[in-house]
Amino acid sequence: MKVGVLTGGGDCPGLNAVIRSVVRKGVQEYGFDFVGVRDGWLGLLQDDVAPLDIPRVRGILPRGGTILGSSRTNPFKHEDGLRRVRRTLAAHGVDALVVIGGEDTLGVATELHRQGVPLVGVPKTIDNDVSGTDYTFGFDTAVGIATEAIDRLHTTAESHMRTLVVEVMGRHSGWIALHAGVAGGANVILVPERPFDIEQVCDQVRSRFKIRYAPIVVVAEGAAPRQGQTVLKDESLDEFGHVRLSGIGEWLAREIQQRTGHDARTTVLGHIQRGGTPSAFDRWLATRFGLHAIDAVRDGDFGVMVSLRGTRIVRVPLADATATKKVVDQPLCDEFGVFFG
């Protein structure tokens, strides 16, 4: 049996750990052959694949990034994309795919599987917003980096008695903000799932200053004030259509400073949250995902995604997993009621 492996979407610590365990178990236990697909779906469109074996995956467990490269290419947005994908798979005799990716990449996988391509999905995103799994790998690493940054900012906040706003990743979900905010001892945590009231935030800030402590505000990049409040406008996208690095965090610091009269500054953590060596938790999870993904391939159990449930790895239908995003829900926020504004 010949198996293709591809990684799609944004950089995420643990991708290499999945590739490594898929290939090691596939070769050693099942005698499979492997090819690596370059740059996600792009490699299948452009017939850019290369053999993948155990020597090739040696030493990659602790390395960030992906040895296969990645892209955000969607084959269904190319005319005859599906045909080209099939042709590449046929040309190399690929019997099954292991697709490692986030919402977009797995959405494509879901559709390809419907069209008859035999594949198994592995969920990947630092944002932790894939349904059907307790956690995705990359998330723990991102939370760890953000928490360490918050730890460092505490001493600056205290020494200068100013508010420090920390903007973390999360356009659509607040998982990183919530976990890093709780772990870092933030005084206010703002997530996309719950529009915030800027005056409530300022009340929290003021009450912190009253006891002579400096507040830390953690905000997900996708968080937004309630309707009717001053809103980011043209600032939110830059001329290339990127969300600006300095969006909501800077707005918050400005508003807090003006409304409370206390100095406020912003730190935007940005890409450092998604690179570098994966945490032990993420290496463990990614390694297990890989081992179970290749088991599913051997079982001919296609159209599934491996996922974490408690301490066990299970298989769930890809279609279910990609139907909705997993968001920070109200009951979980309520747990931390005392910590929020």
Active site residues: 127
Query: Min. distance of Cβ 278 from its own copies in angstroms?
Result: 8
Identity of residue 219: V
167 is in an annotated binding site: no
Nearest residue (CB) to its own copies, 34 versus 82: 34
- Per residue in 295-331, is it b (16+ CB within 10 Å) or e — as a string? bbbbeeebbbbbbbeeeebebbebbebbeeebbbeee
162 is in an annotated binding site: yes
273 is in an annotated binding site: yes
Query: Min. distance of Cβ 162 from its own copies in angstroms?
Result: 10
Nearest residue (CB) to its own copies, 221 versus 250: 250
Phi, psi of 177 (to 5 degrees): -60, -45
Instruction: Return the closest-CA partner of residue 181 out of 215, 232, 214, 134.
Output: 215
Instruction: Using CB atoms within 10 Å of the CB of residue 118, give its burial: 0 to 12 exposed, 13 to 18 middle, 19+ buried.
Output: middle
171 is in an annotated binding site: yes
- CA dist 52 and 67 (Å) reads 10
Question: Structure tokens of 154?
Answer: 């505490």
Query: Min. distance of Cβ 111 from its own copies in angstroms?
Result: 24
Nearest residue (CB) to its own copies, 64 versus 170: 64
86 is in an annotated binding site: no
Query: Min. distance of Cβ 160 from its own copies in angstroms?
Result: 6
Nearest residue (CB) to its own copies, 29 versus 197: 29
Question: Structure tokens of 31?
Answer: 């005698």
What residues are designated binding site for diphosphate?
Answer: 10
What residues are designated binding site for substrate?
Answer: 125-127, 162, 169-171, 221, 265, 271-274
What residues are designated binding site for Mg(2+)?
Answer: 103
